[in-house]
Amino acid sequence: AKEEGKRRWRRFEPLLQTSMTERLETRADLEAGLATGQFHLVHQPVVETGTGRVVALEALLRWQHPERGLVGPDEFLPVAEATGLIVPLGRWALQQALRELASWDGAAPRLHVNVSAVQMRLPGVVDEVRDALAAAGVAPGRLVVELTESLLLEDDRVVRDALAGLKGMGVHLAIDDFGTGYSSLGYLRSFPVDILKIDKSFVRGLDEPGQEALVDAIVRIARTLDLELVAEGVEREDQRTALDRLGCTHAQGWLFSSPVPAAAVPALLARPDLL
């Protein structure tokens, strides 16, 4: 038994060490990356499901790592959130997103920016958004802040005040990945939410029996509560037509456009539609 325990230890120790080292490296890397301009944003259009006309864009973070190449947010956000680096990183992303929005023309549509729960719990978040809007010269009504469902579940005073503050300023609020968390209708009614983003898992399953009924139910909820709807992850024409038929008015996904660099946005906006 002793021999077995020893062997087990030897086998697991190197694994533990590797993951700890990688985690620390990533934290230091993130800090250095932010200080040396390794992050940038790409933007994905939100379109009218029926016409393909662009009504908004969503800003998404990318990290151009000197050795690892392009790293996506799913890889670095967990570390950024756990280490608190999401605070300066998220601040940068918001300011940069608004600068880029201002650099397109005045007719450019709304811009969606993802804001993490960690950022939303900071006492100064409303002032930060107000300052970033003023610095970029962007009207608050052109900003959509995307939040996760889990944030609403916490129901704490700080978050409630922050949402009310943003809403009072004229900023729109969207619930991201809707349907994957546990938000009840009660929460939706008691928070000043404007937009629900239907998670891509529902869109992916649209051709399976029963799934259409789920999307149909979400459409009805949105109508009842007078909320706008955006379906995420639309990759195929049959998904677009199904969503259109179900009354989901807005959509986003590779069918219309992948996320593009800021410099490519004016050309996208110049097109009458993305169909």
Q: Of 100 and 176, which CB lies nearer to Ca ion in the complex structure? A: 176
Of 2-10, 72-80, 123-131, 155-163, the segment contacting ligand C2E by CB under 6 A is: 72-80
Beta bridge partner(s), residue 57: 45, 111
Residue that has been written with the tokens 């804001």 in this structure: 115
Binding flag, residue 254, ligand C2E (CB under 6 A): yes
CB of 10 to ligand C2E, least distance (A): 37
* Cα distances (Å, whole numbers) of residue 244 to 5, 117, 146, 168: 60, 32, 23, 32
Q: Of 194 and 235, which CB lies nearer to ligand C2E in the complex structure? A: 235
Q: Of 114 and 119, which CB lies nearer to Ca ion in the complex structure? A: 114
CB of 255 to ligand C2E, least distance (A): 7
Binding flag, residue 73, ligand C2E (CB under 6 A): yes
Please pick, from the candidates 29, 100, 149, 177, the single residue that binds ligand C2E as defined by CB under 6 A.
Answer: 177
Question: Is 46 in a helix, a strand, or coil?
Answer: strand
d(CA 70, CA 112): 22
Q: Of 29 and 232, which CB lies nearer to Ca ion in the complex structure? A: 232
Binding flag, residue 181, ligand C2E (CB under 6 A): no
- Written as six digits, the tokens of 44 are 């994905």
Q: Of 190 and 238, which CB lies nearer to ligand C2E in the complex structure? A: 238
The residues, ordered by sequence, that sit 6+ positions from 223 with a Cβ below 8 Å of its Cβ are 247
d(CA 60, CA 192): 24
CB of 116 to ligand C2E, least distance (A): 4
Beta strands in the chain (DSSP E): 39-48, 54-65, 69-71, 110-114, 143-148, 172-178, 195-198, 228-231, 250-251, 260-261
CB of 135 to Ca ion, least distance (A): 23
What does 72 bind: Ca ion, ligand C2E, none (CB cut-off 5 to 8 Å by kind)? ligand C2E
Whole-number CA gyration radius for the chain? 21
CB of 74 to ligand C2E, least distance (A): 5
Residue that has been written with the tokens 């007078």 in this structure: 226
Binding flag, residue 205, ligand C2E (CB under 6 A): no
d(CA 241, CA 239): 6
CB of 50 to Ca ion, least distance (A): 21
The residues of the shown chain that bind ligand C2E, judged by CB under 6 A, are 44, 60-61, 72-74, 77, 90, 93, 114-116, 176-177, 200, 232-235, 253-254, 259
